[in-house]
Amino acid sequence: MKLFRIIIAWFLAIIAVLAAGSYLLPKTYLIERSIIISADKALVYKYISHLQLWTEWIPWKTDSDTSLKHTFIGFDGENGTTYMWDSKMKGKGKLVLNKLVANKYIHYQLSINDGEFKSEGEIMINSQGQEKTIVKWMDKNDLGYNPITRYTRLFFKQKLTPDLENSLKKLKKLCETASNTTKVSPTYP
C-alpha cells in the first residue's frame, strides 16, 4: 500500500509540474513568413483574395484524399466569402475572409473541427520595384489558459510554419507563370 501511495504521489507531482510549466509557455503564437514574387501586385492579390484559387497553392489540399469536399460560399474577392472543407483525413474546416483591401491585404478567420482550433491571419502584399511583390503571411492564435492546449499548439506551430512556407512557394510559382487573364468565376450561396 505504501508503494501505491508513492506512485500516486509521484504521478500527481509530475502532473502538477507539467500544468505549472504550461503557464511558462506563450499564451499566444504568431507565425510570419514572407516571399518576393516576380509578378504584378494585382495578380498576386487575385490569388490571395479568391478562395477558389487557394486550392491551387495551399498545402492542405491533397490529391490523395478522395474524401475531400470543397464548398465555396459568396463572391470571391469580397468580405464574407467562405471556403469550407470536409475530409476523413483532414477533418472539417472553415475559412472566412472578413476584411479585404484591394491590392493590399486580406484578413481571415479560420476554424477547424467545429471550433476545436481557431486562428486568424493576414496576407499582406507590397510592391517592391517594378513587377515584384512582397507577400507576408501571418497567422496567430490566443491559446487561452488550458495547459493541454498550450502544449499541443507548440507542436501545431512547428507543423504550420513549413506549411505556410510551402504555400508561399507554390503561390510564387503560380503567379510567376500565370498571366493576368486567370479566370475566376463567382459562386453563389
User: What is the per-residue pLDDT across 84-123, written as a single tens digit (0 to 9) for each?
Assistant: 988 887 789 899 999 999 999 999 999 988 877 888 999 9
Say what the pLDDT of residue 185 is.
46
Residue 173 — very low, low, confident or very high, per pLDDT cuts 50/70/90? very high
Q: Which position has the higher pLDDT, 43 or 150?
A: 43
User: How does pLDDT run across 176-187, given as a tens digit for each residue?
Assistant: 998 545 554 444
Residue labelled with grid coordinates 477533418: 91
CA angle in degrees (0–180, nearest 5) for 73-188-135: 50
Please compute, for residue 120, the number of CA atoms within 13 A of its CA located in the half-sphere on the CB side.
10
* pLDDT confidence of residue 182: 53
pLDDT interval class at 189 (50, 70, 90) = very low
DSSP string covering 168-184: HHHHHHHHHH--TT---
Tell me, what's the pLDDT at 88? 84
Q: Are 33 and 137 in contact (CB under 8 A)?
A: yes
- What pLDDT score does 60 carry? 67
- Note the pTM of the prediction, 2 decimals: 0.79
Residue 123 burial by Cβ neighbours in a 10 Å radius (0-12, 13-18, 19+): buried
Cα–Cα–Cα angle for 159, 161, 167, nearest 5°?
105
Distances (CA, A) of 91 to 113, 121, 132, 141, 159: 6, 20, 36, 19, 16
| pLDDT value at 126 more than 60 | yes
The answer to whether the CB of 70 falls within 8 A of the CB of 84 is: yes
Query: CA distances (Å), 162 to each of 59, 121, 137, in order?
Result: 10, 16, 12
Distance between CA atoms of residues 47 and 66, nearest Å: 24
Nearest to 47 by CA among 160, 180, 139, 163: 180
- pLDDT, tens digit, for every residue of 31-44? 899 999 999 899 99
Q: Given this model, what pLDDT does residue 62 score? A: 60
Instruction: Give residue-wise pLDDT tens across range 12-71.
Output: 888 888 887 777 777 778 889 999 999 989 999 999 999 999 988 987 666 667 788 889
CA 133 to chain centroid, in Å, comes to 21
CB within 8 A of 102, min separation 6: which ones? 45, 49
CB contact set of 91 (below 8 Å; sequence gap of 6+): 112, 113
